[in-house]
Amino acid sequence: MALTPTKPAGDKHAGTSEAFLREVNDAVRSSDLQNFWKRYGRWLLGLLILGLAAFGGWIFYQNQQQKAADAVSEDYVKAMDDLNAGKEAQARVTLTALTKAKQPGYRAVSALALANIEAGKSDKRAATAAFAKIAKDASLPQPFRDLALMRQTMLEFDSLKPQTVVDRLKPLAVPGNPWFGTAGEMTALSYLKMGKDNLAGPIFAKIAQQEDLPPNLRSRAGQMAGALGIDAVQQNDTKKRSESDRNAQSKGEN
């Protein structure tokens, strides 16, 4: 008969030892966890509370900022409605308050609106001063400052020295700048006043060649360029043919 194998006596002892070690290990882990919680539990709980408070404060701050922006927007729209309705005095009060708003964009458009009111009254001195102040305010976005500089220069153009106009508009009177058309035209006219036809002509020609500018401005510039001996249309056609040839050559090489 086959005998059923029996476990060695040593195996029973080994199983008991393993169970004992597991119990000891679990006890040690439990003890370590208790000791850790006793030492750091309050700090961790405090950090958790601070984190939740900070997150809640951030959400509250964002909501307050949005409410403030909405209120400013509503005030500006109301001011514009008052202006359109002929309620200039009320609009001035609102716009003046908005020039102190936290949002730089609303500060700028409100200040520009007030300056335009002065310009509409033919108060050139007050309007010029208002636009100059906006143009020099480094806290305002650059596009608004450029607009103010353009409006200031247009109001002062007849009384300014030609070189002053050229120096003031130099950053704007370059192709690719949004104000190139008007700034370039005033710059070219200033060169004409100084007798520098050789500098005025090319600027008029470049204005005439800019397809994204108003047609009447391009037409006027083209006529001025022609009067100065520059055929802007021919230059533009030559430029387009050169670009076409370069593109064709580039495609051929590829």
Residue 110, classified by CB atoms within 10 Å of its CB into exposed (0-12), middle (13-18) or buried (19+), is buried
Task: Write down how long the chain is.
Answer: 254
Domain residue ranges of the chain, discontinuous segments joined by +:
72-152, 160-239
**Which residues have C-beta within 8 Å of that of residue 151, sequence separation ≥ 6?**
112, 115, 116, 119, 127, 131
- Reference 146, options 183, 175, 100; nearest CA is 183
- Which CA distances in Å does 226 have to 18, 166, 186? 104, 22, 17
Provide the pLDDT for residue 112.
94
- Region 160-239: CATH code: 1.25.40
What one-letter code names the amino acid at 89? A
Chain centroid, CA 161 distance in Å: 33
Q: Tens place of pLDDT for every residue, the chain, 254 residues?
A: 444 455 455 555 555 556 555 655 655 555 555 665 566 556 555 555 655 556 555 565 555 555 556 677 888 889 889 888 989 999 999 999 999 988 899 899 999 999 999 988 878 899 999 999 999 999 999 999 999 999 999 999 999 999 999 999 999 999 999 999 999 999 999 999 999 999 999 999 999 999 999 999 999 999 999 999 988 665 554 454 444 445 545 555 55
